[in-house]
Structure 1
Amino acid sequence: MTSNTAALEKSSFQQQQKTTYHVLFIIGLCHLLNDSLQSVIPAMFPILEKSMSLTYTQLGFIAFTLNIVSSVLQPIIGAYTDKKPVPYALPIGLSISMLGILGLAFSPSFKMVLFFVFFIGVGSAVFHPEGSRVAYMAAGSRRGLAQSIYQVGGNSGQALAPLITALVLVPLGQPGIVYFTLVAALAVILLIYIAKWYKVKLPSLPEKTGKISTTARSLANKKAANFAASIILFIIFARSWYGTSIASFYAFYVIEKYGVSIQASQGYVFLFLVMGAVGTFLGGPLADRFGKRTVIITSIMASIPLTFALPFAGPVTAYFLLALIGLILLSSFSVTVVYAQELFPGRIGTVSGLTIGFAFGMGAIGAVAIGALIDQFGLTTIMIAISLLPVLGITSYFLPTDKTIIEWQNNE
């Protein structure tokens, strides 16, 4: 079979398949539940900073442990399940996270916190590439929309961190985390249903027969595709470091600059994250309509003047700027994943694990690095410095167009 025929069969397969919306909404909800468990980690920071007298660097290492474990394991798990799909990996992964949450609620020391955060990282590493695969399987011809539905669940879960702090951890303290085992249990139940659907659906996919694997292998070896992938990873790096700095440390910045309470400071972070979830959802349909490259470039460039202004804004203006930054900057989140998947068709788990895992890894390194820099140079200086990060996204202009990628696939 020629690679051109393989690409056409893949395209025909996607067109013939209807979008399975109920599966997309369930996996999106599970993504929300999974990432709400992860959100417990940064939500703990203001509590642990006081109860265990932790430094910003130690807080950064907690975030680092969560994200680096997930970052390293995601592409490995994705590559393995590309070759040998494991439908029930999803509920197994969430069960591991549930064990981590239970231990975290009663951890008496910094080292024990790190130990149980490791379990949550492993569960996350299993969930994300397999969750992306389920979204791909249920997408039909609506790839951008499907990835957005899936990804907006995760961003919404991340947005819950400030509410978890204000509504659960401030009144109940660290033991209040135990209630999130119920969240994990609900996710496990839903993922058992997804796993059954996944197992039934699997034999009908072209990847199962290897029909497009030749195209994937030859395309992956092209310098142009690899160069485009490197740009995508560079964009993810800049976006992840900026997002991590806001999610993990901006609350401390507004407490110091504006003199607000812990609860009030969480409102700023919540607004950034919830508008990021909205942006993530909108990005996919916009990419389906206007092209993935266009959305990626617009997202980066439009956010630059807003991030410049944020450190110098007053307490009210900061709300509006954070909302716009979250909406615009994170609109490219799901789009970069789909763009990378189309660079390497047939390697959905590997590519999803690499891109999402890389975002986790960059968030991990960023949390430690930014925490250490804040300890060294102070909050204000570093918040001004990180406002420059989106400028690195101008490299998106070097990305090949969507049309060019389709031509690569058809000409292989």
Structure 2
Amino acid sequence: MPRNKSIILLSAGHACVDVYQGAVASLVPFFIAERAYTYAVASGIVLAASLLSSVAQPLFGALTDRRALPWLLPVSTMLGGLGIALSGLAGSYPLTLAFVAVSGIGVAAYHPESARVARIASKGSHTAMGWFSLGGNIGFAVAPILVTAVVATGGLRLSPLLAVPALAGSVLCLPVLRALDRTARTGSGTAAPVGADDKISFVKLSLAVVCRSVVFVGLSTFISLYAQQRTAGGTSAGTAALFVLYLGGAVGTVLGGSLAGRWDRVTVVRRSYLLTVAAVAGIVFIPGPAFYLFVALTSAGLYVPFSLQVTLGQDYLPTRVGTASGIMLGLTVSVGGLAAPLLGGLADAASLQVALAPLIMMPALSWLLFRTLPEPTAPKPVAPARQSADGAGIEPVPIQRTSSG
């Protein structure tokens, strides 16, 4: 299968999965309205989706480093959709948390293996990986529209309709998996390069992404409600703010790949976080229509680094691509949900503005961490991929360079 077609299908499948990450925050206003949850209680739902995902993604990543598990893509996609579909039907808060947690596990299982498959299908291209990441951003952007269209018309009882993207995503990945399996059997594939691990830089990168995650999850959870206060609008004003926050991610991801062609990735990410500091301050303190401009700038500032951080993580840990992918796409992103209940409790005790103000310093910390990071050196090439021992996928075979090579 041509590389572009594979990446398009994987990107579309990624969008279908990440609808369910965006859906959790999109459902929060409806849980508050229909079930009279407080800010802190509602933010616990975001925590449930994030907590198990935070723990599980690196475990799934380590597992896929040892053995290819391509069947995880369709199965985890369905699991992510099933949890969200049932969360609106749960009559009790514990059941709602349980179903959202199930969705989080599905998302956790998907990302490490899908990133491994995408890296192989992209033949190590940073641009192609950027398009793969773009799919997830589009899924986030579509989530508030999809959730509002379904739940606002008939209430949470219509949440089973939210399983439709999962059905689509599970089908979209199958042609790519079949093509990669055929490539593995013929031994004609080309795997991504490998090199030496830089664990210190990877830890610094992970901490920077955690800070980014706190900002993004905090805004995702409360910006819909905060927009209604700052713009004197209704539910539509909140949905619009969440849509801008997610849609700007699609623009930022494409822009990041373009800018990285002019400067190195570390420089682009560092400058993006510096811009984000001012943009988040604008969200917190500037009222009126300008609020949406700062939401858009914040979204772009947070997402320009997104795909670049994924490829940086893989290049810092080239011998553990699955683990690096699980941490970059999972743990560091999901761990931001741990801050959501703290922000919710602060909002209940004071106000949403007071709760969101600490988010301004998070991108500043990411900027400081990136000032100490090097651009990874070009890794060594590898031989054509071989089939894994269990026949489930393909694994890279390192080549030893000769002195003349």
TM-score range, shorter chain: 0.7 to 0.9
Letter paired with 1:138: A
Alignment of 1:98-113 (within 5 A): 98-113=81-96
**Where do residues 6-405 of structure 1 align in structure 2 (5 Å cutoff)?**
20-142=3-125, 144-202=126-184, 204=187, 212=194, 215=195, 219-220=196-197, 225-393=198-366, 394-403=368-377
1:326 offset after TM fit, Å? 1.0
Letter in 1 for 2:37: L
Q: What amino acid is the match of 2:272? A: S
By how many angstroms is 1:85 displaced?
0.5
Report the AA paired with residue 177 of structure 2: A
- Conserved? CA contact 1:65–1:114, under 8 Å: yes
Deviations 1:195-228 (A, max 9, x none): 22232334646779xx95xx4xxx33xxxx2221
Structure 1 residues 98 and 165: alpha-carbon distance in aligned structure 2, compared to 1, 3 A threshold? closer
Q: Distance in 2 between matches of 1:78 and 1:276?
A: 24
Amino acid across the alignment from 1:85: A
Shift of the 32–383 alpha-carbon distance from structure 1 to 2, 3 Å rule, reads same
Unmatched runs of 5 consecutive residues or more in structure 2: 381-399
Q: How many residues align?
A: 380
Deviations 1:323-363 (A, max 9, x none): 12211221001111101111111321111001222233322
Per-residue deviation, 1:243: 0.8
Q: CA deviation at 1:165?
A: 4.1
Aligned-CA RMSD value: 2.4
Deviates more, 1:92-101 or 1:40-49: 92-101
The structure richer in helix per residue is 1
For residues 128-176 of structure 1, the C-alpha deviation after alignment (integer angstroms, 9 at most, x for no partner) is 111111210111252x212211111111111123313432211221122
Q: Give 1:25 deviation, angstroms.
A: 0.6
Q: Which residue of 2 aligns with 1:5?
A: none
Counterpart residue type for residue 373 of structure 2:
L
> Within 2, Cα distance between the matches of 1:155 and 1:312?
26
CA deviation vs aligned residue, 1:67-91 (integer Å, no higher than 9, x gap): 1222211111111111110121111
On the 8 A contact 1:19/1:140 being kept in 2, the answer is: no
CA contact (8 A) 2:231 2:291 kept: no
Q: Report the identity percentage.
A: 25
Shift of 1:19: 6.9
Q: In the superposition, relative to structure 1, how do residues 86 and 284 fare at CA in structure 2: closer, same or farther (>3 Å)?
A: same
**2:15 & 2:227 partners in 1: Cα distance?**
27
CA contact (8 A) 1:146 1:284 kept: no
Q: Is the 8 A contact 1:148 1:334 kept in 2?
A: yes
Amino acid at match of 1:174: L
1:121 alignment partner, SS class: helix
Partners of 1:34 and 1:124 within 8 A in 2: yes
Shift of 1:289: 4.2
Q: Residue 86 of structure 1 aligns to a residue in which SS?
A: coil
Describe the shift of the 1:102–1:272 C-alpha distance in structure 2 as closer, same or farther (beyond 3 A). Answer: closer
- Give, in angstroms, the shift of residue 382 of structure 1: 1.7
- Looking at structure 2, the residues matched to 241 and 53 of structure 1 have their Cα atoms a distance apart, in angstroms, of 25
User: What is the one-letter code of the residue matched to 1:400?
Assistant: P
Q: Unaligned stretches of 5+ in structure 1?
A: 1-17
